[in-house]
Amino acid sequence: MQIIRKNFTLKLLAFTLAIVGWAYIRFANNPVVAARFNEDLTVPITAVNVPLGYAAHYSRATATVTIAMKRGSPAVRSQDVKAVLDLAGRTAGVYNVPVQLVAPDVAIQSLSPASVTLTLERILQRSLPLVVHYSDRQTGVVVSQTELTPQRVVVSGGSGALSQIVEVRANVPMPAQARSFDEMLRPIPVDGMGHEVPDVQVAPDLVRVHVTFVAAAAAR
């Protein structure tokens, strides 16, 4: 007991320092405990292997990926990681598709969302007449002549989107005085509220619109 009690404080201090030193060496060099940290990446979600003649529609555009990184290792860029929805072998319908990661050899800690609900629609086509829509209407001028080239366009998209289209417009600003308007314009598919319908392609993507505006008094 005398041996233990003699210089007890110094021995206790030496023992504590030994423990601290051992812990530092043990954990500072442990690649699992001390040499990893988490990195969060936001990556776009992409549908792959979409069947020919079909279109996929989903509202979630990005996924968040948490990766366990080794300290000192090169950073993983968001463009190095891909979040994909594999639609191979599917037909028209509503699906909950798991998100698959295509990434370098890294440890994935978490993925959100794990799956995405999407609609797979067959792409349809319709031929529709082109309509001139006049904005900024003025009382001092009227339309004397209108010429559209072509007069009809072809819209392509899923059946849901095409069912919303009421007309395809070429928007022409109405001038304050008589003049001739001759420009190439983008035809816009709109719904009953006049809002552009998304996820629809229009061919051709530009049309020629020639309008002659004359003074209202001269047209009487």
Bridge partners, residue 102, by sequence: 82
Could you tell me the pTM of the whole model? Answer: 0.59
3-state secondary structure 126-183: EEEEEEEEEECCCCCEEEEEEEEECCEEEEEEEHHHHHHCCEEEEEEECCCCCEEEEE
The predicted structure's pLDDT at residue 4: 46
Domains and CATH numbers, the chain: 36-113 (2.170.120.30), 123-215 (2.170.120.40)
Instruction: Give residue-wise pLDDT tens across range 143-174.
Output: 889 999 999 999 999 888 899 999 999 999 98
Which residue would you say has higher pLDDT here, 1 or 136? 136
Instruction: Give residue-wise pLDDT tens across range 8-29.
Output: 566 566 666 666 565 555 555 5
Mean pLDDT, the chain, as a whole number? 84
At 93, which helix (H) or strand (E)?
strand 93-98
